[in-house]
Chain A
Amino acid sequence: MNNPQLNKHGELQHLLSTEGLPAPILRNILDTAASYMSVAEGRDIKKLPLLHGKSIFNIFFENSTRTRTTFEIAAKRLSADVVNLNIGSSSASKGETLLDTVDNLCAMHADMFVVRHSQSGAAHLIAKHVAPEIHVINAGDGRHAHPTQALLDMFTIRHYKKEFHNLRVAIIGDILHSRVARSQIHALTTLGVPEVRVIAPKTLLPSCVDKLGVRVYHDMTQGLRDVDVVMMLRLQNERMQDAVLPSAQEYFKYYGLTQEKLVLAKTDAIVMHPGPMNRGVEIDSSVADGTQSVILPQVTFGIAVRMAVMSTLAGVGQ
């Protein structure tokens, strides 16, 4: 099967998923992102001219403020022209199909699309459809993938833990409906993390989750034991309406991350969350704001990682 993300030279053409990407490509993005960190931190002038004259369209069929904003900042720091479209409130409601919308934007000479859509596979569909000089970044498709989130998580882990090959990582929460979790699992296993655990009640796990190369736990006190990295997931409120969970209170009691549970992990374990957080549902405030939390640095790293993805796709990265 052809990998739709790579061109015939094996270079990154689109970023649609972390599944099936070779480790060197992932490492290269992380290395490039590290070089951009100094742009954000150490200098007065935050811009690089790498994407000068390029047009990047953020097309969001699903609402998101933060992800869209970080993509926008990343593109602007690379000197690209950025157009934001919230399609949820325009074309789609007028009955225009996804590919018609994309064709119209291509006619406006877009160089790159950043796409978020509620349907799994939407970014793949667009990538298959556009001309070969156009690049597509998946900013989240249904329950399938959110590769830039996973890459910024990998960047965060590498920043604090230096290596991947000696880590024990636990992902906790709604794996079934989470595009973040799927992308994290593929990225962690590709980068050589020897033990990836998922911890969730059975209603929040896909069947065959073990086939993704993870160990399955239903009990936090067992699953958290001696882990180096704790990755929390957001719990959507609608899960209670859908007979998946009885209540947010019971979920917090058994699967929420508290200081009492966190002590089971290694003393230097870091705590991550892709945001936005539900305090008191999946994570206690004392943990979210505690010394082991790296949740805000994740956001900062996210800009550098998205810059790295954009410049790599444009062929002007490291």
Chain B
Amino acid sequence: MNIQIKNGHLIDPKNQIDGLHDLFIVAGKVAAIGSAPAGFVAQQVIDATGLVVAPGLIDLAARLREPGYEYKATLESEMDAAVAGGITTLACPPDTDPPLDEPGLVEMLKHRARALNKAHVYPVGALTYGLKGAKLTEMAELADAGCIAFSQADAALTDTRVLMRAMQYAATFGFSVWLRPQDSFLARDGVAHDGEVARLGLPAIPVCAESIALSTMLQLAREAGVRLHVCRISSAEGVALVRAAKQQGLALTCDVSANHVHLSEMDIGFFNANCHLVPPLRSQRDRDALHAGLLDGAIDAICSDHTPVDEDAKQLPFAEAEAGATGLELLLPLALKWAKHGRRALADGLAKITLQPARILGLDAGHLSVGAAADVCVFDPDKYWKVESAALKSQGKNTPFIGMELQGRVRYTLVDGQLIYQSKACQ
């Protein structure tokens, strides 16, 4: 199918395009930008007047909840949510039930996702069997089955010798290891930042739980020569350690959850369980450091950390309520909010959710070069909309942003040159 997206403001951070250009798509790929290729006859024309035409978004952390937690969310519901959020590629963490530690599970997940024909799904394999932190998984087999990296998700890996060997083994094959730094002893039973929120009497997780675990993994990664990706950084100290390690030349990337870019411990208010997140929301000083880390590149990417939780699991006292928030449909407006707050161009906000995550994943995606897959997100950058549970496509209805007005609304999403999603306003 030949598609012309006309009159849109095309922004492609990788190719540094930022202006009014038409986009021409032929056979699922970008065929031309600006003027139509020879002999092009549009079979479908999308009028993007007043809209931004950007590469499809790439999310580094989206829990789809399959297999094992289908009562919280299904592939169907979450893939709908992804494309409604303009996300055309996503990586899912291995903390399913059972965890993604067997090639068969990964193949099944890839197969299910492909059959739905929505966003591209890249599973992150378990680093250790059952995420138990003891035995290495068959990483090479898992990679053949489709795993793009290896991770412990939020499970602890306390044995530093196992961690070192997991890194060495991954490095052997050139796989990257994704880890969220948290010392499990210091964090034991904790559910909130060890700061002013102590007034609520919630068991705390101190910042040093992050910085100690991060220091350990940075040293081991240097030793093992592995590509390390630090997930969900949450503190000023953590950002400083990542920045310093990058300056020393370590092969290191880092992401932050969109929630943590905008929220702090104060948002917990009187025990708002929607703010029960992993890692915990930290102080305003930490949040400012996350902002600054994104500005100077210490933090490469923003992810949704999408974690659909069933309503019952949130209707409990704060510490007993399950952690996590829905996020796929909020990634774009929250990234744009960061750019606006940091007085950066729209393109800089988009880079954190297109170009940079593509680099971390090692994918040729997240851009609109001629010949690239036509994964496209067309959005209204000015549109304000109110986040309402019932209107979210995700089966997860909980987010700290419920009731808030956010700016930036997806209108059309194309995957491989097919129009997969269009908002009601455009139908």
User: Judging by beta carbons under 8 Å apart, are A120 and B206 in contact?
Assistant: no
Question: Given contacts A124-B271, A207-B194, A207-B206, is CB(A98)–CB(B199) below 8 Å?
Answer: no
Check: A68 CB closer than 8 A to any chain B CB: no
User: Judging by beta carbons under 8 Å apart, are B270 and A4 in contact?
Assistant: yes
Q: Which of B196, B201, B316, B317 has a CB less than 8 Å from the CB of A145?
A: B201
Of the four ranges (under 10, 10 to 19, 20 to 34, 35 or more), the interface on chain B belongs to 20 to 34
Point out the residues of chain A lying under 8 angstroms from B194, CB to CB. 206-208
Q: Which of A16, A98, A121 has a CB less than 8 Å from the CB of B202?
A: A121
Question: Given contacts A144-B200, A211-B196, is CB(A1)–CB(B269) below 8 Å?
Answer: yes
User: Judging by beta carbons under 8 Å apart, are B198 and A179 in contact?
Assistant: no
Chain A residue with the shortest CB-CB distance to B195: A208
User: Judging by beta carbons under 8 Å apart, are B317 and A117 in contact?
Assistant: yes
User: Judging by beta carbons under 8 Å apart, are A97 and B316 in contact?
Assistant: yes
Select the residue from A120, A121, A125 with max chain B CB neighbours within 10 A: A121
Question: Given contacts A119-B319, A122-B317, is CB(A182)–CB(B270) below 8 Å?
Answer: no
Please report the C-alpha to C-alpha distance between residue A99 and residue B273 in the assembled complex, in whole angstroms: 14
User: Judging by beta carbons under 8 Å apart, are A207 and B198 in contact?
Assistant: yes
Please report the C-alpha to C-alpha distance between residue A135 and residue B340 in the assembled complex, in whole angstroms: 44
Check: B320 CB closer than 8 A to any chain A CB: yes
Question: Given contacts A144-B200, A145-B201, is CB(A120)–CB(B271) below 8 Å?
Answer: yes
User: Judging by beta carbons under 8 Å apart, are B312 and A121 in contact?
Assistant: no
Please report the C-alpha to C-alpha distance between residue A119 and residue B203 in the assembled complex, in whole angstroms: 10
Q: Which of A1, A97, A129, A142 has a CB less than 8 Å from the CB of B201?
A: A142
Question: Given contacts A98-B316, A120-B271, A121-B318, is CB(A212)–CB(B199) below 8 Å?
Answer: yes
Point out the residues of chain A lying under 8 angstroms from B204, CB to CB. 206-207
Check: B44 CB closer than 8 A to any chain A CB: no
Interface string of A138-160 (1 = CB under 8 A from B): 00011111000000000000000
- Closest CB of chain A to B346's CB: distance in Å? 32
Question: Given contacts A120-B271, A124-B270, A125-B271, is CB(A208)–CB(B198) below 8 Å?
Answer: yes
Please report the C-alpha to C-alpha distance between residue A99 and residue B269 in the assembled complex, in whole angstroms: 20
User: Judging by beta carbons under 8 Å apart, are B196 and A98 in contact?
Assistant: no
User: Judging by beta carbons under 8 Å apart, are A208 and B200 in contact?
Assistant: no
Q: Which of A99, A122, A143, A207 has a CB less than 8 Å from the CB of B195?
A: A207
Point out the residues of chain B lying under 8 angstroms from A120, CB to CB. 200-202, 271, 317-319
Check: A19 CB closer than 8 A to any chain B CB: yes
Please report the C-alpha to C-alpha distance between residue A211 and residue B206 in the assembled complex, in whole angstroms: 17
Please report the C-alpha to C-alpha distance between residue A207 and residue B201 in the assembled complex, in whole angstroms: 11
Check: B160 CB closer than 8 A to any chain A CB: no
Point out the residues of chain A lying under 8 angstroms from B319, CB to CB. 119-121, 142
Check: A209 CB closer than 8 A to any chain B CB: yes
Point out the residues of chain A lying under 8 angstroms from B117, CB to CB. none
User: Judging by beta carbons under 8 Å apart, are A206 and B198 in contact?
Assistant: yes
Point out the residues of chain A lying under 8 angstroms from B198, CB to CB. 206-209
Please report the C-alpha to C-alpha distance between residue A125 and residue B271 in the assembled complex, in whole angstroms: 8
- The 9 A-B pairs with the shortest beta carbon distances in the complex, nearest first, are A143-B201, A121-B271, A119-B317, A144-B201, A206-B198, A120-B201, A121-B318, A122-B317, A121-B317
B: residues with CB less than 8 A from A are 194-196, 198-204, 206, 269-271, 273, 312, 315-320
A-B contact pairs, 13 of them (CB 8 A): A119-B317, A119-B319, A120-B271, A121-B270, A124-B270, A125-B273, A142-B317, A142-B319, A144-B201, A182-B199, A182-B201, A207-B204, A208-B194
